[in-house]
Amino acid sequence: MSIFKKIITALRGGASEAGEAIVDANATRIFAQEIRDAENHLTKAKRDLTDIMAKQMQSQRELDRIKRSITEHEGYATSALNQGNEALALEVAEKIATLEAELAEQQQSFDSYDKNAKRLKDLVKNTERQLADYQRQLSMVKTTESVQKATAAITDNFNNSNSKLLNAKQSLERIKAKQQNFDDRLQASDELANENSDKALKDKLAQAGIGEQQASASSVLDRLKSKQG
């Protein structure tokens, strides 16, 4: 059964009570071991691949060398024939035959390295893919377990602290009320600040003799006198 299915089955089946593991610890350990094995295989396959590719490059250079040598000797043989030196041409032809045998042999090695390199590249690719998949699955198991343990810690903490777990609507109402209270206070303090700054300005204006003036005793007396007049 896939890990995904196992987790769903365990969660649906209510096996998620604290202390009860989703996937038993032993299975998780075996799984982790499989991942380590796959990683080791991958490292080895990559090293082998490097070796094979190095040998393949050497073989390629050797092939080129033999091919150049054959072309060179074919030139020599033709020249010898042109000079009418059949004996020398034959000797060169023998050399060419040897080179061709060598070429065939080298080509065989090259093909074999090439085949192995392709096989190892496929192996590396598949192992890497498998490893990523194993790691993803292990991460699911670990996350599920971690969330369960975290939930257990949170629940314990709530029970120990006597914090009353409110229902969602009550919580929201309380938060809204606090927010309203906070907004009201903010507004009140804004208004207060405005009033204070108004008063300060009026005071300054009064000091400068601008705006409404307080009636002085002499001005009141003047007014009364003018009425008597």
Partner 1 sequence: MNIHYIANHLNELADSSDTGLRFDSLPITGEVDVLQVTIQTREELPIFVSITDDQILCIAYLWGEEEVRADTRSEMLEAMVEMNIPMPLSSFSKIDDKYVIFGALSVNSSLHDIEHELSVLSDNSLEVINEMADYLI
Which stretches of the chain bind partner 1, using CB under 8 A?
16, 139, 142-143, 146-147, 149-154, 156-157, 166-172, 174-175, 178-179, 182
Q: Which is nearer to partner 1, 15 or 201 (CB)?
A: 15
Q: Which is nearer to partner 1, 167 or 216 (CB)?
A: 167
Q: Minimum CB separation from partner 1 for residue 136, in Å? A: 10
| CB neighbour class for 163 (10 Å; exposed up to 12, middle 13-18, buried from 19) | exposed
Q: Minimum CB separation from partner 1 for residue 189, in Å? A: 16
Helix extents (H) in the chain: 3-12, 25-82, 86-160, 168-207, 217-228
Measured between alpha carbons, how far is 195 from 122 in angstroms, rounded to an integer? 80
Measured between alpha carbons, how far is 15 from 145 in angstroms, rounded to an integer? 12
Q: Minimum CB separation from partner 1 for residue 37, in Å? A: 19
Q: Minimum CB separation from partner 1 for residue 176, in Å? A: 8
Q: Which is nearer to partner 1, 27 or 96 (CB)?
A: 27
Q: Which is nearer to partner 1, 27 or 63 (CB)?
A: 27
Measured between alpha carbons, how far is 48 from 40 in angstroms, rounded to an integer? 12
Q: Residue 99: how many CB atoms within 10 A of its CB?
A: 19
